[in-house]
Structure 1
């Protein structure tokens, strides 16, 4: 068995794909549309986004709507990457479990993700 994709539920797949495309530099799959969009990963693993009616974004760290899944991305400089991602539309929750080693951000659809220094 080989991992082929990680798929996030959201209200607007193309908008969320555009955020992650800018953040990662991955290419948008040519058959992406308003129902399902994907970014083609360099190692064969795609990052995908599927429309879900009445999507409720995670409310991390409040467990009312669990995060369900989160992605981690390695970056060379935490402060620089955080500033860039916030300019692209990421949010930064007040709670930061270990801000010296990683930062928790949220994508425009509310999914938490981490950037990890190193």
Structure 2
């Protein structure tokens, strides 16, 4: 029988937690954690899942798709068909995301973007 555990948090290393939390807050609409500060910031989902951002001195951005600096973590966000990947992508690019040349998926189904500090993440049409 599997353990009865539930994922409670995902934490990303970054140079400035409040700045990266603001990017993801604008991207997802998740609520900021009330105890967020310059060393650790968080966003809380309706289901209680916390996305955390912790300060790391000497942070090095992943070198996706290469592995000189491994990607460490890869988030995927579902996009409703009514929103359209192109519209969501454009909004995220305006917030500070980047789109790498290497796109391993059919762009009608998924797109890889890079957050402002280098973490790759996917937009997946659902």
TMscore range, shorter length = over 0.9
**Residue 104 of structure 2: SS of its match in structure 1?**
coil
**Residue 82 of structure 1: SS of its match in structure 2?**
helix
Rounded to whole Å, the distance in 2 between the matches of 1:29 and 1:69 is 21
Question: Which residue of structure 1 lines up, in the alignment, with residue 125 of structure 2?
Answer: 117
**Residue 108 of structure 1: SS of its match in structure 2?**
coil
Alignment of 1:7-46 (within 5 A): 7-46=11-50
* Unpaired stretches in structure 1, ≥5 consecutive residues: none
Cα deviation for residue 62 of structure 1 reads 1.4
Question: Which residue of structure 2 lines up, in the alignment, with residue 90 of structure 1?
Answer: 97
**Residue 6 of structure 2: SS of its match in structure 1?**
coil
Question: C-alpha root-mean-square deviation of aligned residues, in Å?
Answer: 0.7
Rounded to whole Å, the distance in 2 between the matches of 1:3 and 1:105 is 24
Question: Which residue of structure 2 lines up, in the alignment, with residue 79 of structure 1?
Answer: 86
Cα deviation for residue 100 of structure 1 reads 2.3
Extract structure 1 runs of 4+ deviating beyond 4 A. Answer: none
Cα deviation for residue 49 of structure 1 reads 0.2
TM-score by length of 2: 0.91
Pick the aligned partner of 1:57 from 61, 70, 76. Answer: 61
Cα deviation for residue 15 of structure 1 reads 0.1
TM-score by length of 1: 0.97
**Residue 58 of structure 1: SS of its match in structure 2?**
coil
Q: Deviations 1:41-87 (Å, cap 9, x if unpaired)?
A: 11111111000000001010111001111110011211111001000
* Unpaired stretches in structure 2, ≥5 consecutive residues: none
Q: Deviations 1:13-42 (Å, cap 9, x if unpaired)?
A: 000000000000001111100000000111
Cα deviation for residue 2 of structure 1 reads 1.6
Report the count of equivalent residues.
118
